[in-house]
Structure 1
């Protein structure tokens, strides 16, 4: 399969986590489709694009990446929960970003758009908004720090627009998340997780006839005018630089953001706002090649932080000086190393399959397909992806998950 146009995506809470784990630092999942990884910043032509995968759950926020194949039970969910480690990396970014993407919304963003209409569509959001629990607290901190021109999200199954003006007359404050609301230690007791009414239960995926919104559709909603409405109805949509080709992109590109425009899209089903085409001003009429590049600043941050990445269930081990200092010596050394050692920042088009594909048409379906008419797949394996191997070699860092793959083999059994 080859995508008709270059496509970039992040992970949410319904992707194939076993495959995405192979590409923790990002990579091609198919021809012309690039996964940003757990966190990343890259360039596409003159656009600097960042993103963070997963959703926020406080009980896993401080943990390391401890999950092992076959990712069963709670590990099948915790594997896509955002870690503090990735947030701290973004807090070291000092150069402007054109586009940032996350799955769950930054907490508090709903107050900068048509909140009244949002509550007509999703009245059960009211309690979460009042308790400052709608969206991700870490993403709030990132939005306050990064201030990108555009921020795209999804997750809450509703189209929504908002805008934050950062400077000048009419600007509105958007402080980072209150640290007291973020976890300070890893829980040592079983965590009772409140059910997200919009989240698809993994076991429900086996029944294609069940829409995850169907249980909500049975409950009529009453808006401020007293009319019974349903959040599934179509009316839920809420209206409202330059880089060289070679060597690296320049960090002094088109302007600093005066505003951040936020856009969340709905589910990809009929009569819902799931697609939007946007023209983005790059500040230059010169046409740049539509090519993907690594970002020098992000490469340095990744190299600096790599030795502190934990694959244990305990908390991360990032030293306080790396977190607290604006430009710690270790990060400055990593920036110098990247500048001296990496001369070509192009992301190579090196997609290759790492696992077996669907069985050939000549195979007997009774032995090659499971009861859901899907190809059988041995999910106890963790496949070694050469894209990750080459990325780590480029930066001179260790692959954090190589211990799950035996020496001189392509899979972990």
Structure 2
């Protein structure tokens, strides 16, 4: 994990991983820049981090009761953006950081989604989003952001591209540890994207906000929301998989027109080859099931060294996802 040494303290997530605790509601997760990147890499395509806690992968689109949600992990770094997914354990000082930097391959795949995207969740902010809200109040809380805001370096350019091209209704983010709201108007009359970033999850900080959003499908009688794969996203994953690079060099991506044609073809494959549940959804639970792959933390046994890097664990959820789509598992190679 990339973090100053003083912050490298184990919290209580391991209790959810080992089953001692369970999240009371379905929780969708994206990765930031201070997570266990090795574990998130095991679930590059998405998967359960613990019962009822679902990681959306480096980039991924799912449906919650039919409502599309796009998840975007990581932060932007211009120097690493055009690289492939070359990072492998054991990480050095450079790859410990580049592994959570947004890659062009993933941003391109996200851009191929159709514009019907009600909700986007990211860690990083879209570039220049600070100019669409109360900039002066933001700078009072975070004066250290001024230089990057003035230079246009604050935030992710591909994320702002998605706001402009896909016009989501809501965009939720984190990263800068401050409450910030903004509204991005679009050319189409009456359309806008509302942006909300929240503070750290600590006392006296504004880290929680409740939103009510209508969903196309009702919640099940048990009160449990239905989490399903988005068929178009599955088609994009199949269509672009040949361009997934496991080396530092990212091969040249296809043109947008060629990529969209491939996605249309693969969407037919998804419709014809992946079995749906009785409600017409491709339920995540039918293909991926949480199972611990690494030993859970034992607070009574503190013998392991904090300087030791763990081995790579083959995660069966990634294997199952790739099998569902009939693609090579490049994460575990």
TM-score normalised by the chain length of structure 1: 0.69
Map Cα deviations across residues 336-364 of structure 1 (whole Å, 9 max, x no partner): 11111112200016100011122485xxx
Q: Which runs of 5+ in 1 are unaligned?
A: 172-257, 404-413
SS in 1 for 2:195: strand
CA distance in 2, matches of 1:94, 1:306: 19
SS in 2 for 1:20: helix
Choose the corresponding residue for 2:236, options 301, 309, 313: 301
Residue equivalent to 1:128: 148
Residue equivalent to 1:144: 164
Residue equivalent to 2:283: 346
Q: CA RMSD in A?
A: 1.9
Residue equivalent to 1:268: 201
Residue equivalent to 2:261: 329
Residue equivalent to 1:382: 312
- Cα distance change of structure 1 residues 326 and 101 upon mapping to structure 2, 3 Å threshold: farther
- Cα distance change of structure 1 residues 329 and 138 upon mapping to structure 2, 3 Å threshold: closer
CA distance in 2, matches of 1:267, 1:316: 38
- Cα distance change of structure 1 residues 394 and 57 upon mapping to structure 2, 3 Å threshold: same
Choose the corresponding residue for 2:246, options 284, 300, 311: 311
Residue equivalent to 1:355: 294
Q: Is the 8 A contact 1:105 1:136 kept in 2?
A: yes
Map Cα deviations across residues 25-61 of structure 1 (whole Å, 9 max, x no partner): 0000101000000000001113211011000001110
CA distance in 1, matches of 2:258, 2:242: 19
Q: Is the 8 A contact 2:83 2:103 kept in 1?
A: yes
Deviation of 1:287 after TM superposition, in Å, equals 2.3
Residue equivalent to 1:66: 86
Map Cα deviations across residues 231-265 of structure 1 (whole Å, 9 max, x no partner): xxxxxxxxxxxxxxxxxxxxxxxxxxx22110000
- Cα distance change of structure 1 residues 57 and 274 upon mapping to structure 2, 3 Å threshold: same
Residue equivalent to 1:179: none
Q: Is the 8 A contact 2:115 2:168 kept in 1?
A: no
SS in 2 for 1:335: helix
- Cα distance change of structure 1 residues 402 and 111 upon mapping to structure 2, 3 Å threshold: same
CA distance in 2, matches of 1:326, 1:74: 34
Count the aligned residue pairs.
Answer: 302
- Cα distance change of structure 1 residues 141 and 168 upon mapping to structure 2, 3 Å threshold: closer
Q: Is the 8 A contact 1:309 1:317 kept in 2?
A: no
- Cα distance change of structure 1 residues 14 and 360 upon mapping to structure 2, 3 Å threshold: closer
SS in 2 for 1:163: strand
SS in 2 for 1:60: coil
Q: Is the 8 A contact 1:149 1:260 kept in 2?
A: yes
Map Cα deviations across residues 250-287 of structure 1 (whole Å, 9 max, x no partner): xxxxxxxx2211000011222111111111133x6x62
CA distance in 2, matches of 1:326, 1:381: 39
Moved more, 122-131 or 336-345: 122-131
CA distance in 2, matches of 1:74, 1:391: 29
Equivalences for residues 286-297 of structure 1 within 5 A: 287-289=218-220, 290-297=225-232
TM-score normalised by the chain length of structure 2: 0.85
Equivalences for residues 12-411 of structure 1 within 5 A: 12-167=32-187, 258-282=191-215, 287-289=218-220, 290-319=225-254, 323-325=255-257, 328-344=260-276, 345-348=282-285, 350-359=289-298, 361=300, 365=301, 368-370=302-304, 379-403=309-333
Q: Is the 8 A contact 1:46 1:288 kept in 2?
A: no
CA distance in 2, matches of 1:380, 1:356: 11
SS in 1 for 2:138: helix
